[in-house]
A and B are shown apart, each in its own frame.
Chain A
Amino acid sequence: MSIYFDHAATAFLQKQKNIFYEDVPAIQGNPSSKHTLGVNAAIALERSRRIIANSLNAKPSEIFFTSGGSEGNNWILKGITFKHLHQKKHIIVSPIEHSSILEPALWLKKNLGIALSFAPVDKFGLVNPKKLRRLINKNTLLVSIMHANNEIGTIQPITELADLCHEQNIFFHSDACQSYSKEKIDLQKMKIDFLTINAHKLYGPKGVGAVFLREGTELEPLIHGGGQECNMRSGTQNVPGIVAFAQAVDFSCAQNYEKIENLRDYFITTLLKEIPGCKLNGPTKKRLCNNINICIPNCKASSVFDKLNKMNIFISTGSACSAYKTSPSHVLRAIGLSEADSLSSLRITLGVESTRKEVKTMISALKQCIAKK
């Protein structure tokens, strides 16, 4: 028996849907081919685009498929900068963004002389709109703030932040890879110009994603070539992956996230009660329904991780992308944790298949690991 509590890293394809394989024979054509098989693949592609657009209350023509969240984030930051380089040269991000935002932002600073500011976050990881406003100047081109944090689950006041940028005539981007389908996103109501989403956080396949580009906004493509995706993202589309993505969106949007939230709250309450000194990192409210991030002071997280791993209990010590780094999490450091506390923190993320029994087993195992140290 194994317990998988690392859904923020990836959420598994749902076996009952068999989504990745079932439709493949019907969509083997290249969606740019003009024969019937190409048309069939193009239909599958457009149907998927409509499902994703509907889920966000966007237009299908505003959805562009990518290879995933990192490509989407890189594209937005670089594409918007390349397009407007001669007009504005200032970008604002939060310090708790995913590395696929932070690294391109630093790259743009180093290579193109972009001015880069970091919107401060409080001890829960929240960006304060008033503090963000103070950073904006007439040279500001783009603000990029993630919808929900991948490590501590903080849900930003995204509507308010987007409104602020809209009033100031500044582009607003949000990385919604963790929140998409779990939190309501209505792009008719929210004044978000660009949004990044991906498939594998919501029970779809890895290597597939999309970006929302609001009609009328302009940015440069990153990948040039065959002119796919209206010349905005060349390269033959991953049709089976995209079909599976759309099916996963349908699946994920239909789930009862209140049930997961209740399980999360039970998990947190029990951990805080039964593990002496245990502290919750991040907010108690305005938190992703499936996210738990705890600090067990004086306990080496990598050692606990290793012991749990041997017991077939799978969690994380940080984001999946930084799990191999021994340095403390930049997110935990940004919300004020000491280096020692950062290295004593664990991330546990639940999924639709998680059960109370698994939670109890995990807590019991965690106590054993701590006792053994």
Chain B
Amino acid sequence: MYSIDEKIDLSGVPCPLNSAKALLELELLEDGQILELTIDEGEPIMNVPSSLEIAGHKILDTIKNKNNTYRLLVRKGN
């Protein structure tokens, strides 16, 4: 179990705007803090995790929700 510091719902937000919004949200966190993201299946789940990893963040967990969205837990920084 992780302690979530911030949440953002990016379901319905297309690529790459979802990655941009997630990265801007991460800018507001301290290193080591955890952001919970909700994103759509399809392109978003393919693109967003890699964009966050390229930017130096760590994907801690990926959970598929019942409504075809995904819940991502991201730790700021590595």
Decide whether A and B are members of one complex: yes
Residues of A within 8 A of B (CB): 31-36, 38-39, 42-43, 45-47, 50, 227
Interface check B62, CB cutoff 8 A: no
Contact A46:B16 (CB < 8 A) given known A34-B43, A36-B51, A39-B51 = no
Question: Chain B nearest CB: distance from A250 CB in Å?
Answer: 17
Whether B29 sits at the interface, judged by CB under 8 Å, is no
* A42 and B43 form a contact (CB under 8 A): no
Smallest distance from the beta carbon of A233 to chain B beta carbons, Å?
14
Query: B47, A42: Cβ atoms under 8 Å?
Result: no
Interface 9-residue window, one of B1-9, B18-26, B33-41, B64-72: B18-26
Docked-complex contact B15 and A46, CB < 8 angstroms: no
Whether A34 and B16, one on each chain, are in contact in the complex, defined by CB atoms closer than 8 angstroms, is: yes
The contact sample of 11 A-B pairs, CB cut-off 8 A, is A32-B16, A33-B16, A34-B15, A38-B16, A39-B16, A39-B20, A39-B23, A43-B24, A46-B17, A46-B21, A227-B14
Query: Chain A contacts of B19 at CB under 8 A?
Result: 39, 42
Chain A proximity of B77: nearest CB distance (Å): 17
| Shortest CB distance B14–A (Å) | 8
Q: Does B63 contact A (CB under 8 A)?
A: no
A31 to B23, CA, bound (A): 14
Q: Which residues of A contact B21 (CB under 8 A)?
A: 46
Docked pose: A50 CA to B25 CA in angstroms: 12
Name the distance in Å between A155's Cβ and chain B's nearest Cβ.
35
Q: A43-B20, A43-B23 are in contact. List 18 more A-B contacts (CB 8 A).
A: A31-B16, A31-B17, A31-B20, A32-B16, A33-B16, A34-B16, A35-B16, A36-B51, A36-B54, A39-B19, A39-B51, A39-B55, A42-B17, A42-B19, A46-B17, A46-B20, A46-B24, A47-B24
